[in-house]
A and B are shown apart, each in its own frame.
Chain A
Amino acid sequence: MSTQPNAPALHVRKPFDAIVVGSGMTGGMAAKELCEKGLKTLVLDRGVAFEHGTSFVTEHKPAWELPRHGRVPIEEQKTEQAIQSKVYLYDEATKHLFVNDREQPYVQEKSFDWIRANQVGGRSLMWARQVYRLGAHDFRANQEDGHGVIGLSAMTMLPHGTIMWSAT
């Protein structure tokens, strides 16, 4: 891992109980869980120090304010972000949030499109959507309509906020 010239040297004197690499949704939740269990936790990430508010340079811009109404030049997609440009989120307003594939290549033994964030906070910062908790009805709607498998209807609804895995 290269070190940026202005990055402070990291002198670790006390050992950590856990090290989380990446502060996206998964790493962030893992770190939260680990900390809440009382483990001394180190979170490592790379990329732009993305600041809420000031780092929003294209968010909510209407299409006509983008020079090409959202299109990234085809040559630039091929030479700079050949893999990143495959993801549906990639466009003129979001391309800076993805890594440059030419600068950060990786070996593909089998074909694998590795979509990578370019900032601390990871891909959680590119998603910008909402997930609503399913209601009890959603688990039995198929059977009420006479379709699908038994099983989901037997699922017990867990209290809101329950985390489905545990870092023990």
Chain B
Amino acid sequence: MGSPATLGAVTLVNDIRSNNPIAMDRRTAISRLGIMLGGTLSASTLSALVSGCTAPPAEGFVPRLLTKNQLNQLGRIVDLIIPDTDTPGARKAGVHRFIDTLLAEYLPSAEARSFAGRFDEWAEGHGVDDLDDEQLKDLLESVDGQWASGAEDTVWAQLKSWTVSGYYTSEIGMTQELRMLPFTEARMDMPRSEVERTWAN
């Protein structure tokens, strides 16, 4: 990063000093400053990039708060909330496993058990286990429509919220559905038309 950072710094300073309004617009200046800062931060950035991934592994995952059946139900539901498109959906991103982690570690245990109990009632009440994927999709659309028009459904509201936040903080969500490039790899002067996905932050 040595030479681009130096180049960025020198160019920026020269352009400001020359006070040339067309030499560099604000966006370019900020981008180049990003390169300078990226250069100075590269040691910790790189160490973060090479460090191990601690996301719940798919193989042999044993849910800690949910039952295996609940985990499987959740997997079907999150994958209908955010399905596979040209990028993998919520199930492949492990969102159902992440929800089990939130229940086991993030929520106070009484609240987590309460949610698991209400989820059971919700799934049983809607007969989730008897529905194929197409029927489940119809059910969720109906449930979502009622919830959106004001019907109280704490289970659905919580599931939808966790699915969205879990997906967009997962590796698949942040690097495939969204775009994420660390400072050190950022490409400058990117034409707007090439940016087809929203950036991860």
Contact = CB atoms under 8 A, between A and B. Distances in A.
A interface bracket (residues with beta carbon within 8 Å of B): 20 to 34
A71 B170 CA distance: 13
B45 A60 contact: yes
B169 A63 contact: yes
A84 to B, nearest CB: 17
B18 to A, nearest CB: 15
B51 A61 contact: yes
Could you tell me the dominant secondary structure of chain B's interface residues? helix
Contacts of B52: 65
Nearest to B98: A69
Nearest to B171: A64
A24 interface: no
A63 B55 CA distance: 10
B145 interface: no
B44 A74 contact: no
29 contacts: A53-B43, A60-B44, A60-B45, A60-B47, A61-B51, A62-B174, A62-B180, A63-B169, A63-B174, A64-B53, A64-B170, A64-B174, A65-B48, A65-B51, A67-B54, A67-B101, A68-B101, A68-B102, A68-B106, A69-B98, A69-B166, A69-B169, A72-B106, A73-B105, A73-B107, A74-B106, A74-B107, A75-B108, A130-B33
Given A60-B41, A62-B174, A130-B37, 11 more contacts: A56-B47, A60-B49, A64-B170, A65-B52, A67-B101, A69-B98, A69-B169, A70-B169, A71-B102, A73-B105, A75-B108
